[in-house]
Structure 1
Amino acid sequence: MTTISKLGGLAVLAGLAFAPPTMAQDKYPSKAITMIVPFAAGGSSDVIARLVGDEMGRVLGQRIVMENMGGAGGATALTRASRAEPDGYTIVIGNSGTNAASYSIYPDLKYTQADFTPIGLVAKTSPMIALKLDFPARTLTEFLAYAKANPGKISLGHAGVGSSNYLICRNFIKAAGVDVALVSYRGAGPALNDLMGGQIDGVCDAATSLSGAVQGEKVRALVVATPSRLASLPDVPTSQEAGLPAFQAQGWNALFAPKGTPEPVIARLNEALRTALSSATLQNRFKELSSIPPGADELAPSFVAAMVPREIEKYRLLLQEK
């Protein structure tokens, strides 16, 4: 090797030694990110995940690809997420069912709360009961009278035992004191399809995934478990107005990464989430779907980390009641 070649090689090495970290290694994210959705397409979690994923992808400069994985009320997907490489390229959208109630429902889960690192709260949702258009009862009072006269004959669909929709059903049944048949699906989308087709009498779901069907007069909303009426569905009475004040609930969705995901990666994802939720596009869509963006403090990973244990205990108490 000539002296000139040797000097050139040393210059290259010196340049690399003093290069900024972003030149010496890939900057996160350098490829597409997979967001696991624990249910079939069409439900609240799926709708919210796609809206937020699109906006976050724009912020990050990389696509966020949805992977729908139904089964066991979301536990199948959470198991997959817990075993993913903790490099920031696999994240999961969870809710009160998958990341809280599931621990009381499935004793043989392959994951624990400690297997996930929170990224941030994504949305708060409004629980609702909707019925098929030709159901004989048109008000909540009429529905409860019909249910009590026909115990076990009304069928309400949900997104699987352990899902947030299942919890809506359980809250409703407890508040109403009625005996109805609960029908499990692999997601809220399939349940809603069967409701529109008349195969079941009603569904327990969130306004996020029901708004379009209600506004399109494909199903009829019976009641919403919120303190005030929803702007997107102003004709739907609250549980207080309808005579069942005990039916009060609020759903939520949050993003999680596998345990061990580097803190700078979590910080980058949280930053992208905050920017996405502040966009006018997403805020307008959330209003249309009656989803509530989280407050600034609720967006912090530490808020979700403190919230989840409280939710676990809340649903442990609910689900132990017969």
Structure 2
Amino acid sequence: MKKILGLILAVGLMLGALPARAEYPDKAITCIVPFAPGGAADITVRMVADYLSKEIGQPLVIVNKGGGSGIPGLNFGLKARPDGYTVLGGSIGNAFVATYFLGAPAYDMDKIAFVGAYMPHDRLLLTRPDKPYKTWQELVEYARTHPGEVAIGHGASQEGLEVVKAAGIKEGVSFNQVMYKSGGPATADLLGDHIDVCDLGTGTAGFQAARKGDLIIIANLGTAEVPFFPDVPKLRDMGAPFATSLMYGFAFPNGTPEAIRLKWEQALAKVMQNKELLDKMHAAGFTPAFLNGKEYREFSRNSTSAVQEMLKYNKQGSKKESSQPSRRPRLRDKMEEAMSVDRLIGGLFLFACLLLWFWIIPQQVVGEEQAFYPRLTVILVAIPAALMFLRNKGRRITLAFFREGSDISKDLAVKILVLVLSYIVFLLCVEKIGFFVSSAVFCPLYMLFFAERNFWRISLTTCGLLGGIYIIVVQLLKYPLPAGLLF
């Protein structure tokens, strides 16, 4: 008995000598934000982390891993050791829905340890004040009359891109859509006039620029009210079939101890009642709201279901759009189109032809028979110029047209100079080799210069123009051709 008691005592002393297991957490915690710095995900995680670290008892080290709509960063975080020292934060829901957009494997919501959400986040369409559209309806009309010209950027939100695409399908228009790694670079390109419109979140740098008046908000892609902009219309209320649905929050890799997850959930719930933090978020344009882990999981599950419906709608709409023949522009659409450089040049030359026909030639030439020859040369210039004016090729004229050194103004000046010189050369050729031979050479050159690239249109126009002049003048009107006019 004494030996047994001695053995038990020895074991007890040995166990007592072992160091006590450290209580979680005993070191800094890495927070993976699956988006580049500068966007709403990065900004809000850092806001919340300042207060959350005090509740958890250790600092949160923010690590940004942007790109791929958040999928690579989310995968990186989910593959970390489930020991509570690697947590995912921010708009991780973006990556959940992006798998359906990009054809990546979908996430199993039951294999992610959701901590909780700290705010919903709506997406906004913003543009610069100098643009000719200030509302969604004006943007749609502009895109309708300028197909392929409107570039819309997206600050790492594939869902925002698909919502805009669905709205465009509903309106019968399409946009050039550009995806960015985060809202920061997208905002810089919007302010720098590299894109026309941008989809950004509330509270981002782009949102703050709108508060200063540097940008304007066209529409809200989400369903909540926009802080500081209560009158911004929701795209869904204007007939769009879908809206963005996103909650920002935190989650751990599968297998993380429930005690750790619950500790974080309770800490986040407490932090989201901190008036100082809430005031900061409201001041920045965010709308804080708490969801526990279970609610966050269900919200994410419902969001992915809605995205699948939207993708199906967009796929069907794209097929329908591609199967329909392109509609010729209506006269009203043509009247509403912005003037182009080539259209302006064509109009100027048509005006010059009218002056030559009705004013200059009658003053310089005596008799209709003598005026016949110069009027034919006017016709040769007027026909391609009219085609150029009606087809409206070339770059749009904007305020930059009037600025010194503008590429557009240089384009206009060069084209007018070349056309004037070519017309002088044409007149000299007529004197030497005759009207019809010169016309057969210069008419195709004029059309090429006027942005025509179809061989058959050039050939048929040239033959039709010269043949028509010969048949009408010689065969029908019996008008004698002056010597040297034919050859």
Same fold (TM over 0.5): yes
Higher relative contact order (CA 8 A, sep 6+): 1
Determine the structure 2 residue equivalent to 1:191.
Answer: 186
Amino acid at match of 1:98: A
Letter in 2 for 1:125: H
* SS of the residue 1:208 aligns to: coil
Q: Paired residue for 1:4?
A: none
How is 1:1-322 mapped onto 2 (pairs within 5 angstroms)? 13=14, 15=16, 24-93=20-89, 94-99=91-96, 101-109=97-105, 112-160=108-156, 163-170=158-165, 172-174=167-169, 176-209=171-204, 210-225=206-221, 229-234=225-230, 236-239=232-235, 243-244=238-239, 246=241, 248-295=243-290, 299-320=291-312, 321-322=314-315
Identity %, equivalent residues: 25
> Which structure's residues are more often strand, by fraction?
1
Which secondary structure does the structure 2 equivalent of 1:222 belong to?
strand
Over the residues paired in the alignment, what is the CA RMSD in angstroms?
2.8
Local SS of the residue matching 2:43: helix
Describe the shift of the 1:170–1:78 C-alpha distance in structure 2 as closer, same or farther (beyond 3 A): farther
Letter in 1 for 2:133: A
Structure 1 residues 276 and 219 mapped into 2: Cα distance closer, same or farther (>3 Å)?
Answer: same
> Does the residue aligned with 1:27 lie in a helix, a strand or coil?
coil
Q: Which residue of 1 aligns with 2:469?
A: none
* Cα separation, 2, equivalents of 1:316 and 1:120: 24
Cα gap change, 1:183/1:292 in structure 2, threshold over 3 Å: closer, same or farther?
A: same
CA contact (8 A) 2:93 2:247 kept: yes
Contact 1:36 1:66 in 2 (8 A): yes
What is the TM-score with the length of structure 1 in the denominator?
0.84
**2:408 match:** none
Note if contact 1:131-1:202 (Cα within 8 Å) is conserved in structure 2. Answer: yes
The answer on whether the counterparts of 1:123 and 1:293 sit within 8 Å (CA) in structure 2 is yes
Change in CA separation of 1:228 and 1:311 when aligned onto 2, cut-off 3 Å: closer
Q: TM-score, normalised by structure 2?
A: 0.57
Q: In proportion to residue count, which structure has more helix?
A: 2
Q: Which stretch shifts more, 186-195 or 137-146? A: 137-146
SS of equivalent to 2:261: helix
C-alpha distance in 1, partners of 2:306/2:69? 18
Question: 1:185-212: per-residue Cα shift (whole Å, max 9, x none)?
Answer: 1111111111111111111122121321
- Classify the secondary structure of the residue corresponding to 1:146: helix
Deviation at 1:67, TM superposition (A): 0.8
CA contact (8 A) 1:277 1:283 kept: yes
How far does the alpha carbon of each residue in 1:115-166 deviate from its partner, in whole angstroms, 9 at most, with x for none? 4211111210122100123212122221111011112211111134x64443
Gaps of 5+ in 2: 1-8, 316-487
Alignment coverage as a number of residue pairs: 305
3-state SS of paired residue (1:147): helix
- Bigger Rg over Cα: 2
Secondary structure of the residue aligned to 1:62 is: coil
Q: Distance in 1 between matches of 2:183 and 2:167?
A: 17
Alpha-carbon offset, residue 293 of structure 1: 2.4
Which residue in 1 is equivalent to 2:336?
none
Structure 1, unmatched stretches of 5+, are 1-7, 18-22
